[in-house]
Chain A
Amino acid sequence: MKVILPDQDPKNIVFGPSTVGLFLNELGLNPLEVIVSRNGTLVPEQAVIGGEDEIRVIRIAHGG
């Protein structure tokens, strides 16, 4: 998968097929603190990703 992580350049990661929730868990990210898009469309934690998907992880918790 092509993966774009918060504050990082795009990279290719071999993953899945498995769920967004498990992917975030592997990255050590809390699903409450990010939203995830697959090929430009928002997907919930239960969605299955893998293969040639382009995954973007966007951090949402900001401010003081």
Chain B
Amino acid sequence: MKSSAGSGGVPVCSCCGEPAVIYLPASQRHLCGRHLICDVELRVASTIKNESQISLGDRVAVAISGGKDSTALLVILSRLLLSFPGSEIVAITVDEGIVGYRADTLRAAEALTQQLGINHHIVSFRDQIGDDLDTLLTGREKEACTICGILRKKALADAARDAGATVIATGHNLDDEAQSVLMNTLRGDLPRLIRDTGPGSSSLFLPRIKPLSAITEKEIAAYLFVKGLFSVLPECPYTKYALRAEVRTMLNRLEQLHPGTMLHLVYSKKRIEHYCEGMAVMEPLRRCQECGDPSSGEICQVCRLKHSLGK
């Protein structure tokens, strides 16, 4: 395996000997730009195939915020779906209404979908619930991610259904997945830890897939940089309230010291899912008595949230 320093003090690609652009500690490989692109796209294709995420004829609703993960997802899926005859993509952006943040990413999403020739739908919290997120959060800023997450999921599901989608794809990467495992563990939330929303999990909602779940955040950023698609965009102003931000910093530190930590966390989740198979860990899904959406209780999270927001 090649990886010694080449000319200019840059290590060379483990595959071809060209200057490397990234080092992957998990596989102990250096990759050049060309092989990074091949590697990322092959691993996404493997995830889709191994988890049967997409079937022939599927209409895939890709959630695109305009940030790096969803940008990479849309770029990769638009290539990979060429080998799924009859399948097509529709892009959906949820505009939460966050001043100083969403406008830039919305423009990026519009530019990308136009460039790729993909049908793009934009839905907003204002249309959905009558107010933007900034207004809804007045005095409740510390709940930002919880409130936003519930409403965004509902807006995305409704928009995907309206667009005739058969599956929803999101840009969650390996780092996101490992963070979620740790967060759910810290909260003692076993049902959420093992919740399955993938294809075949329920007939009550559109299945959700995560084709980037084996790719690290850094690989995604490098992939976009090499392809000339990386943009520096503003950070969500509510990030400072998020438990995820603390967990991310902690996990990144652990991953740096102990490469493979994130993979091990995701693997442990799969093991727990396996052991819990057939056990009554979760409340069975039913229809919300108010809106008819799928819910684990009599009233769904969205309706409960609307009540608490006075909507």
Contacts and interface: CB of A to CB of B under 8 A. Distances in A.
A35 B11 contact: no
A17 B239 contact: no
B21 interface: yes
Interface in B171-222: 175, 216-218, 221-222
Given A61-B248, A62-B67, A46 B235 contact: no
A46 B225 contact: no
B11 A60 contact: no
A27 B200 CA distance: 48
Contacts of A48: 5, 8-10
A27 to B, nearest CB: 14
Given A58-B230, A60-B218, A42 B67 contact: no
Contact of B221 (A17, A43, A46, A58): A58
A46 B20 CA distance: 10
Interface residues of A, number: 23
Interface in A26-58: 30-33, 35, 37, 41-49, 58
B21 A42 contact: yes
Nearest to B23: A44
Nearest to B221: A60
A44 B30 contact: yes
B92 interface: no
B272 interface: no
Contacts of A31: 218, 256
5 closest A-B pairs by beta carbon, nearest first, are A48-B9, A42-B21, A60-B221, A64-B242, A44-B23
Interface of B: 5, 8-11, 19-23, 30, 33, 67-68, 144-145, 148, 175, 216-218, 221-222, 225-226, 230, 232-233, 235-236, 238-239, 241-242, 244-245, 248, 252-253, 255-256
